[in-house]
Amino acid sequence: MPAVEPHPAPLPLRTAIEAGDLAAVIDAFAPDAILHSPFTGRLAFTGREQIGTVTQVVMDVITDWRYTDEIRDGDRAVLMATGRAGGQDVEMTEYLRLRPDGRVAELTIFFRPLPGAAAALRLIGAGLGRRKSRLRGAVVSALTSPLAFMTRTGDGLGVKLVRGSL
């Protein structure tokens, strides 16, 4: 396995998100880039306009966003970050495919732990829905709220049950 060499400068996407600069985030993507939803394999956002819309909502929803690691090898990169969504801790992994000019061609995002991921799902989904109408945002929030409640509640109990089994 080849050694992964550190890069002296962070990825433009990382720098833009850390600065809260939406225009620079959008510019970090290729015009035909694809962002794969962290919540379902049935949803992807294509092009800078859609990616910009999603990114604005995500930047509004995820607070205390802080990158902790960056790994690059050729046209691939992985960014690791932490933050909070709806009062829940969330860790994010972003897998990027880069174009030769350094712009992001494809981005796949993963969230953990489950309570934070469920809170992010509810808040991001509702935020995207509200861009169309308040009703749509309320429906998305209502559909995802049970999952957020169950994972938040079950997290503590589940840990106690598993630890008690060891």
pLDDT of residue 8: 67
Angle between helices 114-130 and 134-165 (to 10 degrees): 180
Helix, strand, coil in percent for the chain, rounding step 5: 45, 30, 20
Tell me whether residue 128 is in a domain.
no
* Residue 37's CATH number: 3.10.450.50
The number of distinct structural domains making up the chain is: 1
Q: With respect to residue 93, please indicate whether it lies within any of the assigned structural domains.
A: yes
What integer pLDDT is reported at residue 13 of this predicted model? 94
Cα distance between residue 97 and residue 100, in whole Å: 10
Q: Could you give the CA distance from residue 92 to residue 80 in angstroms, rounded to a whole number? A: 6
> Is residue 40 situated within a structural domain?
yes
Rounded to two decimals, what is the model's pTM? 0.83
Q: Is residue 46 part of a domain?
A: yes
pLDDT at 117: 87
Q: Are strands 88-98 and 29-36 parallel, antiparallel or unpaired?
A: unpaired
Task: Report yes or no: 72 and 65 within 8 Å, Cβ to Cβ.
Answer: no
Asked if the structure places residue 131 within a domain, the reply is no
pLDDT of residue 154: 73
Give residue 6's pLDDT: 56
Q: Is residue 32 part of a domain?
A: yes
Specify if 37 maps to a domain.
Answer: yes
Domain that holds residue 83: 12-112
pLDDT in tens, the chain (166 residues): 566 555 568 899 999 999 999 999 999 999 999 999 888 888 899 999 999 999 999 999 999 999 999 999 999 999 999 999 999 999 999 999 999 999 999 999 999 998 888 888 888 888 888 888 888 778 877 877 777 777 777 777 777 777 777 7
Residue 166 domain-assigned (yes or no): no
